[in-house]
Amino acid sequence: MHVADWFATLAAAANIPLNKSLTLDGINLWTELVTSKTDTPPYPEREIVHSLDNQAEIYSYSKGQYKYIKGTSLEGRYDYHISQRPKQIFDPREKYYYENIRQSAAFQALQKYDEKPLTNSRMHNLRVKASVQCEAKSLKPDSNCKPLEEECLFNIWKDPCEQKNLGNLHKYDNIMKSMREDVLKLKATAVPPLTGRGSLEYDPSRYDCTWTNYLDIFPKNCDLLYLNLSEYQQHTVFLRRPHLGIRMYSKWDDCWLGHGCMVRPLQDGFDDVSFRGSNEFLTPNIDALAYNGVILNNLYTPAMCTPSRAALLTGKYPVNTGMQHYVLVNDQPWSLPVNETTMAEIFQEHGYYTSLIGKWHLGMSRKAYTPTFRGFDYHYGYLGSYVDYYDHTLLQRNENYSRGHDFRLNLESIHDQTGAYVTGLLTEASVNLIKRHNYDAKPLFLMLSHLAPHSANEDVPLQAPEAEIEKFSYIKNPQRRIYAAMMSALDNSVGQVIGALADMEVLKNTIVLFLSDNGGPTRGLHANTASNYPLRGQKNSPWEGGLRSSAAIWSTQLEKLGSIWQQTFYIADFLPTLASAVGIYLDIGSLKLDGLNLWSALKYGYERVEREILHNIDDIDNYVSYSKGKWKFINGTTQDGKYDDWLSKRIDNSSWDPRSLNYEELIKNTTVWQNLHNPNISPSMMNITKLRQAAAVKCLEKDPALLQKCEPLNGPCLFDLDNDPCEQNNLYDEQHKNSKIVLEMLERVDILRQQVHPMNNKPADRRCDPINYNNEWTCKMPCRSGYFCFLIISFLLGYNDLSFHGSNQILTPNIDALAYNGIILNRHYVPNLCTPSRSALLTGKYPIHTGTQHFVAVNQEPWGLPLDEQLMPEFFRDEGYSTNLVGKWHLGFYRKEMTPTFRGFSHHYGYSSGFVSYYDHTFDVVVGKLLSNIKKYPSDNLIPSHFGMISRLDESVGKTMEALVKKGILDNTIVLLYSDNGAHTVGLYANTGSNYPFRRQKESPWEGGIRSTSLLWSSLLKQRHYISHQVMYAIDWFPTLAGAAGIKLPNNLHLDGINLWPSLNDKHPPQPRRVLHVLDDIFGYTSYMRDNYKYISGTTFNGLYDTWLGELPSQEIHPLSKYYVENVLNSTVNRLLGNKNLLGQHILELRSQVTAHCPRNSEDFNQSIYKCEPLRAPCLLDIIKDPCERYNLARVHSSQMEILSQEERVPQTSYTQCTDSNS
């Protein structure tokens, strides 16, 4: 055990559920302790990190019986067996040791709990076992451990005194290697130590000789500036500007927070920044940033802009957000799913002023897709993929659209800068923002995402100011010359931005990141002459030339400035890494990130943590690209192999930039060098020439005749990137294809494939043509047709409270008309309480799988539907629906993240709790307008009030349908009407609702609590006017309505519900179904059904509600019931539906068939054999023949009973009942 295990172990002992987002290192060993499973060998293998000090380089780690040590403290001062037992000195009480034990207060208090007597012999045996015995034999000279000079390995089970170092014995090489790799992985994920320097300010003499916390002014926040200069290169500057605030902590307690600036160029080639070694044209400011910072030599990105931006902002692989296939084109109505949390949202929530300047390219067809709705406080730039550098328009020729303007401030289109060069505009906007920002009010996050050097429209793809182009007259290719000028303007931008940070004196608290979105497009669509030399492939390919990015990072927090970091890094790692850098805690459990937090490894320069990267799984282009460590696997490719070659070459020195002759002097004279260079770093530690040589990629030097070709359209390829970064030699041959590494990679790809999110890509909508919007690309266009309007009406009524079930006490003509014109769902089931029922509807899962199974969410209790559950409205919102909740929520509201508008609903009008007063809106929540005029019913007569409520509810259904008609969308609407659970006839919160003729009521396992009145209507249904006997449960509506809307749900949702839309739409015969109505381990009862048989074991409230409740007095008949048919035919709903074929006879037939009838009592009914008393023994009921649950068949059908009793525990993969929002 490790001390960290006690948290989880003691929590388990106390039956306290722990939040999954805690990500504990300790494990729960309560069961092992209670059952004594660990008192004798062999012991379960346990990994323990004893010490992992990256600064002092001390590592102590054990796994199972082996312990690994490297380094030690205080130069080995304490590395000996310091303590010894004196042989002659004993406590005088020793000879009466066991008697002393028996007389102790502890023994007297605890002996009553011991099942076996604690004899002297038993105590002696335990004492011997608890004593540690060292080996007595002498050691060989080489067996000692010298941790300052070498790595040591001990078998702690056999050698607990650490006398014999096994690290020098070859037979332990594999164990040493394995433990060494484990330590390397752990090093990379270590959190930086919190310890700080001491200060005389803490001297107790200043505080009345008392150690004390005192009021101190210290940095409250710091700013994060993210400059995105381009899609192919990305600079990030995170500024650490302290803000003053008062806190009761010691001075060194504040975490390091900073401003952040990220600069991202759009698709420059790998070799188009000159710190990689090219002299064709120089990028001195970018190079100065690289040499003064840390060059990220193995940074990988997706191969295209949209997927790359999605990965950066979400911290996830594009395949896990549906962004994997292609870029987002302006006329396509889709986006980064709005349920995905972005980096901007995270920093915004932690107090940063978040800004995006430049390109967005993650959705524009709805406001909800645009930057200021995705976490950015400010956006200046364009929403689409690219624009003309001067007139800021995009011409989409493939659809023959008109030229559309796309440049804006937030959502407002701006034209006052038309004619100005975009690179200059974005630079100027960034500099102005840096200079005007109030750093004392909020920290700053700035992402500068340049257009340069992306090509513009096809008519004039490459554009730059003439004065800039003239600087590169030595370049013979005119297009390449313009490209060099575009890169030069980009380089100047980096200098100006860093200069502005220096002017504001915030650089020392800044992280600057520069990286490229993806490789450059040397040929094909949007080709811009970019060079990815010497790498294979280009943008939109699975090769290194499309995936490997030129990048550098600078911060005063980095320990090894002026170095090259060889660690494999993926663009999704930036979200958790930069969050860690500025002290933001991420809820990893709910975010489900693919990115790793590698801040500690980056900060201290640790390398070679084995990192897997799923570059892509694309089932349209049909290719896979995946790497693990040094190995890379490719199967299939893009564009029929058009980009599979080595497409770039370096020019000879006759076309070199003239400035390259004085390269180092040029670098040292840049704005960036002057502001970032640390004069305390010696020239030997920052040798520009050596860094530049080391940053250049060297291809495999081998006779080409000996290289094995890779033709991914004909078969898989395998590369060793450490030795073959240019992907020249395919190792997927007879020797390797069945090797352990290949088999492991294939298995891993198969696992990742099963988790892939369906692609979000939608076809173009020609209505998005800018000519329809005054030649603007706009986010206001209705870029999708064919939406359904879904109207879900939920209420709390008894089965017999709606008149289409046969009751004549309360008439509901509008709801009845909807039922007769649609589908009556006669076997529709729900959980027996509000919160579990709503949870089931919105998640598509049994409440036992979300922890909501036991009771309702009470206002004073801090829990709710877990935040890691994805809800129905989130998916509909992502498909472009406006998702609205009117009325009750009741799934938790003690944190804003748990409320409707944070769980997928665009708007909420109503109340968050279980109920409110109809008049005074208790808890300051406004009740739904549909029931607001219930006032005319007398408050001193409960039953007439209940009648009035239902009558008003019926009227509201009519008015709602009328509104749909006036809006012209009724024909495209699906209406679902159902009750949350059975009525509360008696007891707490009773409302006299009737579940007649069913047994029991709400909060019970009987039909009266779980069988819900329900109907479905839509003009889109192929079959209507019938009664469906298909067993349905509330969990089925999520996949069913998604199926109706054509929404593909990801496989990793693990829904319990099934899509029954085809069955309902085509009137299929009922299919067999198993339903777990409830499984409650607190009340200790279960209700489970398979087809027509239902199993019940246990009940609620000691059987208080186990009788038949709610039978209506025969004399209470509505006076209009004799005109029932006429009332239905003349109702608002029937008139609106205009169904002249709905005849009175058909209404009466449907009403008769849907009315539930109990079997007549026979003489057998009173016999004890048929009585169901679930507190004494489980019951078996035939719900088809006996819907009123009168006859217990447990003894009659013992074989069936045995089957169901075994099955009812099959679904019990239940969560512990929620007691906190994330549990």
| Four-CA torsion 524, 527, 531, 534, nearest 10 degrees | -10
Task: Determine if residue 562 is left, alpha or beta; phi over 0 gives left, psi from -120 to 50 gives alpha, anything else beta.
Answer: left
CA distance 1107 to 23: 47
CB atoms within 10 A of CB 628: 18
Q: Are 529 and 522 in contact (CB under 8 A)?
A: yes
Residues 643/538, Cβ–Cβ less than 8 Å: yes
Place of tokens 């352990």: 740
Distance CA 381, CA 450 (A): 9
Phi then psi dihedrals of residue 689, to 5 deg: -60, -45
Q: Single out the residue of 921, 938, 941, 869 nearest to residue 898, CA to CA.
A: 869
1019 close to 1036: Cβ distance less than 8 angstroms? no
1114 Cβ partners below 8 Å, 6+ apart? none
Measuring CA to CA, how many Å separate 1146 from each of 665, 1120, 1170?
94, 19, 38
Q: Which residues pair with 60 in a beta bridge?
A: 51, 69
Residues in CB range of 398: below 8 A, 6 or more apart: none
- Catalytic residue check, 699: no
| Buried-state track 808-831, b at ≥16 Cβ within 10 A, e below 16 | bbbbbbbbbbbbbbbbbbbbbbbb
Residue type, 599: W
Residue appearing with tokens 């939608």: 762
The closest of 1117, 1050, 1089 to 1182, measured between CA atoms, is 1089
Reference 1012, options 868, 748, 824; nearest CA is: 824
CA distance 594 to 615: 12
Beta-sheet pairing, 216-219 with 151-155:
unpaired
Beta bridge partners of 717: 634
Longest CA–CA separation in the chain, Å: 110
Is 677 marked active-site? no
CA distance to 1046, 1070, 1205, per residue, from 1039 (Å):
10, 17, 28
CB 285 within 8 A of CB 495: yes
CA distance 1110 to 535: 78
Q: Which of 152, 261, 305, 1218 is catalytic?
A: 305
Pairing relationship of beta strands 973-979 and 789-795 according to DSSP bridges: parallel
Q: Catalytic: which of 235, 243, 361, 450?
A: 361
Q: How many CB atoms lie within 10 A of CB 267?
A: 29
d(CA 954, CA 418): 58
Report the distance separating Cα 336 and Cα 219, nearest Å.
35
Q: Please give the Cα distance from 765 to 745 (Å, whole number).
A: 40
Q: Please count the other Cβ atoms lying within 10 Å of the Cβ belonging to residue 377.
A: 17
Characterize 61-97 residue by residue with b for buried, 16 or more Cβ atoms within 10 angstroms of its Cβ, and e for exposed: bbbbbbbbbbbbeeeeeebeeeeeeeeeeeeeeeeee
Q: Copy the structure tokens of residue 482.
A: 């313009």
Which residue(s) pair with 614 in the sheet? 626
Nearest to 522 by CA among 228, 213, 269: 269
Q: Which residues are catalytic?
A: 305, 361
